[in-house]
Amino acid sequence: MNTTSIISLDLGGKNTGFFSCTTNDFNNLKNFQSGTIIYDESFILSQVNRRGKRHTKRNNLRRKLAKRLFLLILKEHYKLKIDYLPDEILALFNKRGYTYASFELSDEEQESLSSNILSDTLQQYRLANETYLIHRNSI
């Protein structure tokens, strides 16, 4: 006769759950209905703090990577000779969204930033999407 022991651990977002049973008849598993609640002040099942720390860490990493990507775009695509982003631009990536500091750009730098690349790209995407939809509907 085979004995089956099942152990299940659920590391949920809010609480941690555990289920265990031993049976000789695996088909009889759906009849197991048992539960134990462990409550001890020093034994914390809640995962809320862990989730909050994980989300904070992920958000901080995302903001750092967004800043690095933006600097790379300015250097490689717009050919700006800058080693770091000014505080005014960095503040736009933070939750606050603004800063009272200001900076000046030369006329040449302003002209290099005033291109219609994004507008042209979006226009091309819209036209390609419309062409695809027309082609798909004609089939």
What's the count of helices (H) and strands (E) in the chain, helices before strands?
4, 2
| Cβ atoms of 40 and 46 closer than 8 Å | no
Predicted confidence band of residue 20 (pLDDT cuts 50, 70, 90): confident
Task: Tell me what the mean pLDDT of segment 104-108 comes to.
Answer: 72
pLDDT reading at 75 higher than 80: yes
Task: Tell me what the mean pLDDT of segment 4-24 comes to.
Answer: 76
Question: What is the average pLDDT score of the chain?
Answer: 75
pLDDT reading at 102 higher than 80: no
Spell out the domain ranges in the chain: 4-46, 49-103
pLDDT for position 48: 76
The pTM of the full predicted model, rounded to 2 decimals, is: 0.42
pLDDT reading at 127 higher than 80: no
Give CA angle at 57 (55, 60), nearest 5°: 105
pLDDT for position 35: 65
pLDDT reading at 81 higher than 80: yes
